[in-house]
Amino acid sequence: MFVDLVPDDLWERVAPLLPPAPERRHRHPGRLRVSDRAALAGILYVQRTGVAWRDVPAQAVGCSGVTAWRRLRDWTEVGVGPRLHTALLTELRRVDLLDLDDCVVDGSHVRALKRGDHVGPSPVDRARPGSKHHVIVDRCGTPLAVTLTGGNRHDVTQLLPLLDAIPPIRGLRGRPRRRPRRLFADRGYDFDKYRRVLWKRGIKPMIARRGVAHGSGLGKVRWVVERAFAWLHQFKRLRTRYERRADLHQGLLDLACSIICLRRLRTSV
């Protein structure tokens, strides 16, 4: 049943963030509302298996795919995903499992089978419609922020939006952390304009130079972001974009980042 799809430790963190259920009408109340935990199970089932929403086995999961989609829409509109991700990042920092001094940024193409927002001709897929996942991770590969753009957007255009998307991470005494001390990136981010902006923000840019021989040595640091993309794309619904609405795909991305953070917490326990 759906309880197996939603572990207790995940549900304990999600439940306080969900909006209250609407009150039932006294006259003609209709069918009972599906529980939020069952709806979350339906969302996780689609996210992990990649099946269409209409193909969710309602009897096994406890929720129809249409209901799960509607609940994802409602929760995305009120910002449940980013708040859950921020809460888990705070827990990681509290137990000293978050290293914000060194961060790595990169982007990854995914094919978009349907038109919609943030879809563009992918330069690495024969100009087929595609999107890009942009992610910034800490030194251990924990995703701090993720954004979605069209497949034709250059990686460097999301450098500053990613830095701005890092939430204020508490967990220790003092001011919450929002920026790294050093930022590592590949040659796609080699623009002096952005280097100057990073220096002004107090961030040391560690970006590979274009036009020089390979062997910059950044690979021993940057591999963690490639592993983070592998973690994200283990969720089959994120390997290929099916959602027309960009906010719903972004909601699935935020949920995947939260699950990755929760796995890190489990290793500490």
**Confidence (pLDDT) at 31:** 77
**Confidence (pLDDT) at 150:** 93
Which H or E run contains 207?
strand 204-207
**Confidence (pLDDT) at 132:** 94
Radius of gyration of the chain, Cα coordinates, nearest whole angstrom: 20
3-14 core/surface letters (b: 16 or more CB in 10 A; e: else)? eebbeeebeebb
Read off the amino acid at residue 181.
R
**Confidence (pLDDT) at 215:** 58
Separation CA 239–CA 230 (nearest Å): 10
98 Cβ contact partners less than 8 Å away, ≥ 6 residues apart: 89, 92, 138, 140, 142, 169, 171
**Confidence (pLDDT) at 11:** 95
Helix (H, G, I), strand (E, B) or coil at 1: coil
Q: How many CA atoms lie within 13 A of 107 on its CB side?
A: 26
pTM: 0.92
How do the pLDDT tens digits run along the chain, 269 residues long? 455 789 999 999 999 999 998 777 777 777 788 899 999 999 999 999 999 999 999 988 989 999 999 999 999 999 999 999 999 999 999 999 999 999 999 999 999 988 888 999 888 888 889 999 999 999 999 999 999 999 999 999 999 999 999 999 998 888 899 999 999 999 889 999 999 999 999 999 999 888 766 656 677 788 999 999 999 999 999 999 999 999 999 999 999 999 999 999 988 76
**Confidence (pLDDT) at 269:** 61
**Confidence (pLDDT) at 216:** 60
Helix (H, G, I), strand (E, B) or coil at 184: strand
